[in-house]
Amino acid sequence: MPVAVITGASKGLGRALGAALAGRGWDLVVDARSAGPLEEAARGLRRAGARVVARPGDVTDAAHRAELVAAARELGGLDLLVNNASVLGVEPLVRLEEHPLDGLRAALEVNAVAPLGLVQEALPLLRGSSLFGASTASPYIGDGNAPSSYMGAESRKAPGAGGAVLNISSDAAAEAYPAWGGYGAAKAALDQLSAVLAVEEPGLRVWWVDPGDMRTDLYAAAVPSDDGATRPLPETVVPALLRLLDAGAASGRYAASALLDGAR
């Protein structure tokens, strides 16, 4: 069975993606900071028939990251790494003139530094994955924002077997929204790290995806004046992520809305 590591999997998009993968027969290593909600989510995943290892902890802790990868190794390897855990840095969001620098540091640590640390820990297993295979075509199915080295990917073959890295980004990484500067800067750093990783590791698929606004605790904390009732649930975004996986899509930046429109 394929194996995925998903951070921030006790709720929101991480939990929804975990449920979808469990339903497809994947085994999972899941992480969150709070043990109780994480174990409750893991019980639901196990009911779908998946082998699930739940490891509560902080992704900024190198020992915890090593523990996640070790758990994947015990399950048989690692085919998909999902860097989903995220923090705003300050709640609610404020303009840059008021943004605490410690909050920016925290956002960078969780949203950019920790994902890179987990990738570094996981690379040997990801390189050894046979999820796609050496002769798998890598169609670009995204929103026009793939890095230049991946343009023309319709005719490109993956040079080696390997797994995938899915980094959850944000439109705030590419657009200038008042009060989203700190969080957006951290996600922009994640985007650039993803783009460079895609060039350095051509045998892997590296996807950085803007899921769009969702009805999540993170959004509620960011904008408490918006009750989020009109925002889509995270479950509605999951089909876009699965489309990347099913297509073995080329490395690049994708918007969930474009992926969903393309599937219709």
SS3 per-residue string spanning 5-49 = EECCCCCHHHHHHHHHHHHCCCEEEEEECCHHHHHHHHHHHHHCC
As given in the structure block, the two tokens for residue 249 are 């899509």
Q: Which CATH architecture has domain 3-263?
A: 3-Layer(aba) Sandwich (3.40)
* Cα separation, 43 vs 50, whole angstroms: 10
What tokens appear for 187 in the block?
């996600």
Contact 26, 102 (CB under 8 A): no
Judge whether residue 82 has pLDDT over 70.
Answer: yes
CA distance 254 to 263: 14
Residues in a beta bridge with 166 = 82, 207
Q: Which of 261, 164, 160, 247 is nearest to 208 (CA)?
A: 164
The residue ranges of every structural domain in the chain are 3-263
What is the predicted pLDDT for the residue at 263?
A: 63
pLDDT grade for 218, boundaries at 50, 70 and 90: confident
**What pLDDT sits at residue 211?**
93
Tell which phi-psi region holds residue 152, choosing left (phi > 0), alpha (psi between -120 and 50) or beta.
Answer: left
* One-character DSSP codes across 97-136: GG--HHHHHHHHIIIIIHHHHHHHHHHHHHHT--SS-TT-
pLDDT digits (tens, 9 = 90+) for 84-124: 999 999 999 999 999 999 999 999 999 999 999 999 999 99
pTM: 0.89
> What is the C-alpha R_g of the chain?
17
State the Cα–Cα distance between residues 209 and 193, nearest whole angstrom. 13
The predicted-structure confidence for 121-176, as pLDDT tens digits, reads as follows: 999 999 999 998 654 444 556 554 554 333 333 333 344 479 999 999 999 999 99
pLDDT bin (cut points 50, 70, 90) of residue 45 is: very high
